Amino acid sequence: MNELKIIFYDVEHGSCTHIITPNGKQILVDVGSKSDKSIVDYICNRYFNGRNGSLDALIITHPHEDHIYDLPRLLERLYPKVLYRPTEAFDIEPLQRTPVHIKIADVANRMNVSYNNPIQSTENICNPQNVGGVNILIIPFVPQLQNKKDLNTYSSVIVLEYKGFKFILTGDNPKDQLQYMIENNYYGIKLFAKDATILLAPHHGRTGEFCNDFFRCVNPILTVVSDKSVGHITPEESSNVYRGRGANLHGRNRYVLTTRNDGSIVFSITDGHCTISTNTENY
């Protein structure tokens, strides 16, 4: 099956992107979850016949809780073969002193230490041969801008490209970091991120972190905002600033899709086409 599937799950105020490559590799970028329904349980039921399995890779853009909420469950049920994360951002502190928060931080810190071996090239998802011809580039955070008090500064940018379709996944990258990356053509980002199909908006689409130069470079057809109704964002503002090239979906011109309104958003790329479907049921 020559299909690449990319799913942006509706995980409240958090982020979880599921990539299923044409050769069946299962990769997650971040593992945010609804607080009352485990995303890992959903993935096991839907893609692993209800059983436990192992992920081919987990990429943690940065270890803020909304991006690693279901990590304890992931370790129990879908232990990843490869873990990409900004090692320097650890150890992390729990957000609050409750058992749930303490466990998340504890598991994340232990996981960071346990994956201290070099990644074997045979498992490396950044080699297209291993992932069905998908090009995956992980652009790490800018060392000069890192700040332990703000874990967002450790966010990476991930570029996925397959058969002419390009997805740019950001973490919660601050505006300054994105500006730096563009101005310095960091890791060749200006070419790699240029003219994308889909952008996963930085920092859940917060307009205060909107970086115009970055957005103009990415120039996406559609922007996905992973968010839920929280106080610091208004959807109108986000859809205005993240207005890319646009696409007609079901008779409507769309520029921004949000998990809060559209639910989980699924992109399937096969036979030179990219199809989009949304699902407002739970996950």
Is 12 near Zn ion (CB under 5 A)?
Answer: no
Is 209 near Zn ion (CB under 5 A)?
Answer: no
Q: Which is nearer to Zn ion, 176 or 183 (CB)?
A: 176
Stretch of 58-66, 159-167, 211-219, 238-246 contacting Zn ion, by CB under 5 A: 58-66
- Minimum CB separation of residue 189 from Zn ion in Å reads 21
Q: Which residue is associated with the tokens 């058992």?
A: 99
Q: Which is nearer to Zn ion, 119 or 138 (CB)?
A: 138
Is 227 near Zn ion (CB under 5 A)?
Answer: no
Is 70 near Zn ion (CB under 5 A)?
Answer: no
- x-or-dash pattern for Zn ion, window 140-179, by CB under 5 A? --------------------------------x-------
Is 65 near Zn ion (CB under 5 A)?
Answer: no
Q: Which is nearer to Zn ion, 95 or 266 (CB)?
A: 95
Considering only residues 12, 56, 66, 161, which one is a binding residue for Zn ion as defined by CB under 5 A? 66
Structure tokens at 4: 């690449």
> What are the residues binding Zn ion (CB under 5 A)?
66, 172
